[in-house]
Structure 1
Amino acid sequence: MYGASGVVKEQPAIANMGQFQPMAFPGQMSNVPAGLEYLAAVDQLIIKQEVSMFEVLAGFEARNKYRILNSMNQQAYWAFEESGFCHRIWCGPERGFVMHITDNNQQEVMSVVRDFRCCTGCTLCADGCCMYPMIIKDKFGQQLGMARARNFCCTPRLGIFDNDDNLLYEITGPCCPCQAPCCTADVNYPITSAKDGQQVGNISKIWAGVLREAFTDSETFGVQFPMDLDVKHKALMIGAVFLVDFVIFERMKNNNQ
C-alpha cells in the first residue's frame, strides 16, 4: 500500500479538493511529530464523512472516508478506512479497521487502529473486549495513546489514555443522542480532564441536513481543544472522534436498519 517515501499508493478516491482549499503548511516545529504541525495551528476541526454512492445505491457498507477541515473550511487532512469487505458486511460497527490519516500530499501522518474482537451478545456494561480500544499512532507507527469505551449502560462514558494506560481525559454524552428535522441541535460530548474534572474540549455530532441524515450513515463531527494543548493530545482527541462515531452513531444506525 505504501511506497518507500511513505506516500499512500492505493488511497481510495475522494474525488478532488473541490470546494475545499488546502490549509497552508505552518512549517516544521520542534517537539512536534512530523505531519502533525497543522494541529499546532488550530483549536477546532471539522471531520466530515464523505457520502458513498455505492453504499446508498447497493446498501452495502463501504469503507469510510473523511475530510478533516479547519474552521475556515480549509482541508488539513484526509482520513480513509482500511478494512475487509466481509468485516464491514457481517460485523458492521464492531469491525476491525485501520483509519489512515494523510496530509493533502497523501503522506500518512497518523493512524487509528482497532483490532477485530468478537463481541456478539455482550454489552458495553461489561469489561473486556467490548471496550472497542482504538490505538492512535504517529506516522512512524509509534503509539501516542488509546481511546476506548468505559463501563456504561445508558449514558456513554469513553476515555482517552496514555501509553501506560493512565486516564488522561473522560468523554461523556447524552443517553439518547437524538437528531431529527425537528431537533437539529448539535449532540455534544464534553471532554474533561481526569486530573481535575475541568472541561478542556468538546466533540460534537453536527446535524448534516435532512437528506444526508435520513438516507446515508455519513456523519459530520466537530472537535474543539485549547490552542496550546500538546499536539499529541490533540491527535488523541481526533482518534476519539472515530470512537464516538463507531461506538455510538454507526451502531445506532446499524440497529435501526
Structure 2
Amino acid sequence: MSDRLEEHFGPEVKSISIRQTRKGCFQELLGCEASDEFKWFHTTDGKNEKFAESLEESNCLLRIFCGGCHEFDMPVKIDGTNEELMTMNRPMKLPVGCGKCCCYQEMSMKSKGSEMGSIKEGFYCCVPRMMISDGSGAPVYKVHPPTCVGGMCVNCCAEGNPCGKGCCKASYEVFPHDQQDTDNGAPSVAKIMKVPKSLFTEVFTDSEAFDITFPDEASAHHKALIAGTTIFLNANFFEADGGD
C-alpha cells in the first residue's frame, strides 16, 4: 500500500474533516450542476491542516439528468502537488432505496492503481445499510445511521435534540463487520457526521461538511476506506436530495 496513505492516515491520525467547496448561487439559479470538489483536513488534537483535495470527474449531462446516481471518478490529490493519494470510482446504478434485490449503489477505491476496497449498499427495509470490504472482497466494516425501535427507524435524536444542539446533524456509524448487534445505540468504532452549515451556505449552496473519527486500531488502509465512504454517503444521501 502507498507510503503516502501511511503518512496521511497513519496511527497518529484519529480524525479528519472533508469539506465540499461551495458552489456559487448563480450556478444554482441557472441550473448548472457543477462537479463536486472537496478539501480534506487533518483535525486530530484540534488541528485544522489541509492535506488533500478531490475533484469529481464526470459527464455534465449525466450530472444534470442522472444527479442521484450518475457515475464518476474522483482522484484525491495531495495538497500542493499533483500526486494521487487515492481514487474513487462510482459506477451508475439504481438510486439507493429499500427493498432492492440488485443494482446496489457501490463505489470502489484504489491507490497507485492497486485495489484498496469498496463500499456497497446492501438489502434493507427501513434503515440504509452498507458494507465496506477490502481489496480481496472480504468484509471489514458495517455502516448505517444510528437506529431505534429495534433497528426499524433512524434515530433522529442520536446527536442530541434535533431542535437544539442536534439540529442539522446527521451521522453514520461504523461497526466491525462481525459485530452482531449494531442497533439501538450499540457501541460503534467510528463515525461519519454531517455537520451543520451556516444559514447562508444552507440556503444559497449545497456544500456539505463531514467530520470523520477513525477506529483506534485501524490501519491506514482501513482509515482511507472510511474516508472514501464519506464521498459515497454524500453522493447518495446528501448530494442527491440537496442536502436535506
TM-score normalised according to structure 2 size? 0.81
Give the drift of 1:108: 1.1
- Which whole-Å deviations, capped at 9, do the CAs of 1:104-128 have from their partners, x for residues lacking one? 11211100101223x37x8342122
How far apart are 1:201 and its partner, in Å?
Answer: 0.6
Q: Residues of 2 paired with 1:195 and 1:240: CA distance?
A: 19
Q: Report SS of the residue matched to 1:59.
A: coil
1:38 aligns with 2:8: yes
Indicate the residue corresponding to 2:110 in structure 1.
Answer: 137
Query: Equivalent of 1:107, from 83, 87, 110?
Result: 83
- Given the two structures, how large is their TM-score scaled by the length of structure 1? 0.77
After TM superposition, list the pairs within 5 Å mapping 1:80-119 onto structure 2: 80-104=55-79, 105-117=81-93, 119=94
- In the other structure, the counterpart of 1:123 is 97
**What code does the residue aligned with 1:253 have?**
G
Amino acid across the alignment from 1:194: H
CA deviations on 1:194-218 (whole Å, 9 max, x unpaired) are: 1235521110011111121222211
Q: 2:49 aligns with which of 74, 82, 87?
A: 74
Name stretches of at least 5 consecutive residues in structure 1 with no aligned partner. Answer: 1-31
Which sections of structure 2, spanning at least 5 residues, go unmatched? 147-153, 181-186
Q: Which moved more, 1:204-213 or 1:192-201?
A: 192-201
Higher RCO (CA 8 Å, separation ≥ 6 residues): 2
Structure 1 counterpart of 2:175, one-letter code: T
Q: How many residues align?
A: 220
Q: CA deviation at 1:229?
A: 1.6
SS of equivalent residue, structure 1 residue 217: coil
After TM superposition, the structure 1 = structure 2 runs for residues 1-257 of structure 1, keeping only pairs within 5 Å, are 33-36=2-5, 37-40=7-10, 41-53=12-24, 55-71=27-43, 72-104=47-79, 105-117=81-93, 119=94, 123-129=97-103, 131-138=104-111, 140-174=112-146, 175=154, 184=167, 186-196=169-179, 199-253=188-242
Please tell me whether the aligned partners of residues 34 and 109 of structure 1 are also in contact (alpha carbons under 8 angstroms).
no
Q: What CA distance in whole angstroms lies between the structure 2 residues aligned with 1:63 and 1:34?
A: 29
CA–CA distance in structure 1, aligned partners of residues 191 and 52 of structure 2 = 20
